[in-house]
Amino acid sequence: MKWIEFRLTSLIVGVSLMLVVGCSQPVWGMGKNRLPREPLRSKDLPKKHPKAPEYFAICTATADGRNFKEIIKDPRRAVTHGRVSKDHQWITFTRHNKFNARGIAIPETSYKETEILMCRIDGSEIQTLVPPKKGATNCNSYWTPDGKSIIYVSSDNPEKKGRIYLLDIETRTRKQLSTPDGYDAGDPYTDGTHVVFPARKPNVRGGHVIHIMNMDGTGFRRLSSVPQRQAKGEYDPKISPDGKKVAFMRAGKKGMKGEINLIVTDINTGAESNLSVPASNNWDAMPEWSSDGKRLIFWHVNRKEPLKSGLYTITADGSDRRRISLPKGYQYTICSFWPGTGSGPDAKIIFSVRKFSPQIRRQIEQMQK
C-alpha cells in the first residue's frame, strides 16, 4: 500500500509547474462542425507508454462539481490553460507538441513548439491563433477584458526570450508590449489597465518574480516583496476584479521541488498574505479569481496524502478552504472560473485533466478501499 501511495504521489508531483516557460487522431472537439486538423503519424512517434495518461482534456463543470463535461480531448498532447471569453462563446488554450520517450507531449518535457488555439465553448470550430514554431514557445493565453484580443507569452523573437504579446482575434495581427530591455517575461495577465507577469532581470541570479506595469509599458516595477536574488520562482499572477490585489504562486526554499504557496498582495501597499498552510511541502498553484472577487480557485497537490490532491477554492482572506468534488480517475490541474459567473455553487469553472491510464486507475482503486 505504501508503495502504491508513493507511486501515485510521484505521478502527481511529477506534473511540473515550470510555466514560462504517428498519432492517429489530432485534438478534437466534442461538438459538431469541428475543423479538420492534420493528424500526427504514429510511425513518427515513440510507442505510448502503458502508464502514460489515456488522454488529455479540457473540461468544464460547476463550482460544486456538477455538470462535468469534457470539451477538448487529445490522446497524446497536453491541452492546458483553457480560458473562457467574456461572452462565454469561445475558449482559448495551449497545446504541447514536443514529444518525450513515453510518446506524449507534456509541460514537464518542454514548452518549445507550443501553440495557441481557440474553439467554440462546445469544442467545435477549433482554430489555430499562434502556430507552433521550432525552438519557440507560444503559450499561456488569456482574454483581454473586451474579448477582442488575447495576451500571451512568446519566445518567437530575435532575442529568443519570453516577451509579452497581444493578438487581435479578428485581424490575427500581433503587437509586442513594451518591457524593460533584457527582462525574460512569462504568464501575463491584464485587466485592461495594468499587466502583471513574472520577470527575471538578465545576468542576475535568482528566479522570476512578479512585476506590474501599465499597458503602454510605463510604471514598470517589482510587485513581489522578494528580491530576484532570493527568489525561487513566482508565477501566474492574476489581478482581482476590483483591481486592488494580485494573487500568484511562490515556490519555497527548495524551488519547484518543494512547496508552492498561494500569495495575495496589495498592489498599492505591497502587503502580502500567504493563504497556504506553511511548511506543508504541498502545492497550492495557479490561483484564479472569481468574477465577484470573493473566492480563488487553485490546483492543490498533496504529497503526503495524494488522494486529497485536486481543485480547491478559498476566500481571499484564506478562510473556508473547499475541495471541489469531481469525478474520479482524472488528475486535475490548471483551472479558472468563467467570467461573470460569480463564486457560488452554480459558478462555472474550466480546467485541464489527464485521464489516468488503466494501470494507474487500478492502483488508485486499491488505495481507496
299-317 per-position pLDDT tens digit: 999 988 888 899 999 999 9
Q: 269: phi > 0 → left, psi -120 to 50 → alpha, else beta; which? A: alpha
Average of pLDDT values for 42-54? 78
**pLDDT of 2 over the 50 cut:** no
Average of pLDDT values for 323-333? 95
Angle, CA of 224, 229 and 234, to the nearest 5°: 40
Residue-level pLDDT at 17: 39
Q: Give the residue among 354, 330, 278 at the shortest CA–CA distance from 57.
A: 354
Residue-level pLDDT at 41: 52
pTM assigned to the model: 0.89
Burial of 17 (0-12, 13-18, 19+ CB in 10 A): buried
Band of pLDDT at residue 19, cut at 50, 70 and 90: very low
Residue-level pLDDT at 29: 39
Residue 54 grid coordinates: 489515456
Q: How far apart are CA 327 and CA 219, in angstroms?
A: 45
Q: Give the residue among 184, 236, 187, 238 at the shortest CA–CA distance from 206.
A: 184
- What's the domain count of the chain? 1
CA 317 to chain CA centroid, nearest Å: 23
Residue 91 grid coordinates: 475558449
Residue-level pLDDT at 98: 94
Q: Name, of 8-17, 119-128, 251-260, the range with top average pLDDT.
A: 119-128
pLDDT, tens digit (0-9, with 9 covering 90-100), for 187-235: 999 999 999 999 998 888 888 999 999 999 999 999 998 888 888 899 9
Q: Which ranges of the chain does DSSP label H, i.e. alpha helix?
A: 2-13, 358-368
Band of pLDDT at residue 40, cut at 50, 70 and 90: low
Interstrand relation of 283-289 and 272-274 (parallel, antiparallel or unpaired): unpaired
CA 353 to chain CA centroid, nearest Å: 11
Q: How far apart are CA 301 and CA 12, in angstroms?
A: 7
Residue-level pLDDT at 110: 92
Residue-level pLDDT at 33: 33
Structural domain including 194 reads 2-368
State the average pLDDT for the chain. 87
Average of pLDDT values for 34-60? 71
Average of pLDDT values for 228-255? 91
CATH of the domain at 75: 2.120.10.30
Between 29 and 243, where is the model more confident? 243
Q: What is the DSSP string of 56-109?
A: EEEEEEETTS-S-EEEEEESSB-EEEEEE-TTSSEEEEEE---B-TTS-B-TTT
**pLDDT of 4 over the 50 cut:** no
Average of pLDDT values for 155-184? 93
CA 88 to chain CA centroid, nearest Å: 19
pLDDT, tens digit (0-9, with 9 covering 90-100), for 257-312: 788 999 999 999 999 999 998 767 799 999 999 999 999 999 999 988 888 899 99
Cα dihedral: 206, 207, 213, 219 (round 10):
-10
Q: What percent of the chain has pLDDT over 70?
A: 87
Residue-level pLDDT at 295: 98
pLDDT, tens digit (0-9, with 9 covering 90-100), for 86-124: 999 999 999 999 999 989 999 999 999 999 999 999 999
Residue-level pLDDT at 6: 36
**pLDDT of 346 over the 80 cut:** yes
Between 239 and 11, where is the model more confident? 239
